[in-house]
């Protein structure tokens, strides 16, 4: 797993209005930010990715979320 600080590559903006935890959107420019450790994981990760605390993890286009109430949905734009 690569430990890449996504904030060095992208600017992130919270989606408004915030989606419900049981209906999180996915897409190429949609990312999930863990509110516990501030880690960011793509909503469709194609390489192994996880936040530091383990709330978010994914690989192969699928993401696993342990506690969706502790996730902020953000849109990433290249700097």
So where are the chain's domains? Answer: 6-78
Q: What six digits make up the tokens of 51? A: 């936040």
Q: Is the whole model's pTM more than 0.85, yes or no? A: yes
pLDDT tens for the chain, 79 residues: list them. 667 788 999 999 999 999 999 999 999 999 999 999 999 999 999 999 999 999 999 999 999 999 999 999 999 999 9
- Using alpha carbons, select from 36, 33, 38, 39 the residue that is nearest to residue 14: 33
What is the C-alpha to C-alpha distance for residues 12 and 75, in angstroms, rounded to an integer? 5
Question: Which residues face 27 on adjacent strands?
Answer: none
**Residue 14: predicted pLDDT:** 96
């Amino acid at each position: 797993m690569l430990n890449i600080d996504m904030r060095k590559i992208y600017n992130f903006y919270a989606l408004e209005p915030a989606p419900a935890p049981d209906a999180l959107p996915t897409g190429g420019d949609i990312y999930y930010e863990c509110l516990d450790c501030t880690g960011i994981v793509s909503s469709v990760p194609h390489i192994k990715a996880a936040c530091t605390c383990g709330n978010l993890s994914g690989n192969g286009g699928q993401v696993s979320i342990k506690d969706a109430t502790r996730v902020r949905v953000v849109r990433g734009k290249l700097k």
